[in-house]
A and B are shown apart, each in its own frame.
Chain A
Amino acid sequence: MSAGVAMPTSNDPFYAGLGQAVRIGTELLASLAVGGGLGWAADTYLFGSGPWGLVIGLIVGVAAGIRNAMRAAKNWPK
């Protein structure tokens, strides 16, 4: 546990890795929530089109989440 006086984030690989891991998790989750939320909102307030907006929204959300996660993983700390 090397939480020193100096900023432990800039050079400590443990904390850098921890930050990256948490980041990728939330990227997946947030895109899924936004996609599903947009689809559900389109269903409920715009078209009244049953579950289809939610279904399509979730699929697009998963795709966007994976894209964001891959983007975040591209610069994994060495």
Chain B
Amino acid sequence: MEESPLHPFELHELIPISLFGLDISINKAVILMWIVVGLAAMLLVIGGSARKLVPTKLQSLAELLVDFIRGIILDTMGQDGMKFFPLIATLFVFILFSNLLGLIPGSYTVTSQIIVTAVFAVSVYALSVALGFMLHGIKFLGILVPPGTPGWLLPLMIPIELVSQLARPVSLAVRLFANMTAGHTILGVLFGLAIGGGLLIGWLPFAFTIAMNGLEVGIAFIQAYIFTVLSCVYLGDAVTLHGHGDAHAH
């Protein structure tokens, strides 16, 4: 078994499709995204359709999820933030389901492709900037000046704040992608050791893969949670024009 631990991240075309010169071939990641969307829709539609007073298992799972997302929004943006519930809930459920499904051996983690996380992060950030300019007009540029900055520091503070603003989508995208990729690489290395070690010593790294998988379940949750909380914080900054949110984040 001479296989690179990064090998599972490679994508191969399953059904090559080309549309006006664009490569829109179907690969494993696309199929996994369909499964993620299907499962999430199934859980929420079936779980949400019963509306019994004493909930079924599926209904209480759906309620737990919706309640959790509602809590995130209320914590970070307050009651006004409930306008964004559909967006935030979509983000959270999609990321959580892709992270968790990727942990099933043989499947694929969609969020370990940086293009997927980058699209989410850049769209959220672009929305927050557009929203800020729509609500506050040119005054939105005030987020580049921290409150209480003396005038002579402005030439220094504005570039720093500009960079720290532009770093937001980058850190959002890189954090999710790097966590998912790193976790699966570690699992790959440990499995490689388990296979290479044979029966005599191979059980030791194999036991570690089981422990790592447990840790990865927690990381799958927490990365979906952090991505969602920070999206809320950035959107909330644009709405309230504080620019220095994070004050309410966990």
Contacts and interface: CB of A to CB of B under 8 A. Distances in A.
Interface in A5-31: 6-10, 12, 14-16, 18-19, 22-23, 26-27, 29-31
B65 to A, nearest CB: 9
B250 A16 contact: yes
Given A72-B246, A75-B250, A31 B164 contact: yes
B174 A60 contact: no
B167 A27 contact: yes
A12 B226 CA distance: 14
B103 to A, nearest CB: 11
Contact of B174 (A9, A26, A68, A71): A26
B171 A3 contact: no
A61 to B, nearest CB: 6
Contact of B163 (A1, A26, A34, A75): A34
A67 B171 contact: no
Contacts of A18: 218-219, 222
B221 A1 contact: no
Interface string B159-185: 111011011101100110011000000
A9 B222 contact: yes
A8 B221 contact: yes
A31 B160 CA distance: 9
Given A34-B163, A67-B164, A75-B247, A8 B218 contact: yes
Nearest to A27: B171
Contacts of A33: 167, 170
B contact patch SS: helix
A26 B225 CA distance: 16
Interface stretch (B24-32, B82-90, B108-116, B209-217): B209-217
B218 A15 contact: yes
A38 B179 contact: no
Interface string B27-39: 0000000000000
Contacts of A30: 167-168, 170-171, 174
A3 B217 contact: yes
A12 B159 CA distance: 38
Interface of B: 64, 68, 71, 159-161, 163-164, 166-168, 170-171, 174-175, 178-179, 211, 214-215, 217-219, 221-223, 225-226, 244, 246-247, 249-250
21 contacts: A6-B64, A7-B68, A9-B222, A14-B218, A15-B218, A15-B222, A19-B223, A27-B167, A30-B168, A30-B170, A30-B174, A31-B164, A33-B170, A35-B163, A60-B163, A61-B167, A64-B161, A64-B164, A65-B164, A67-B164, A75-B247
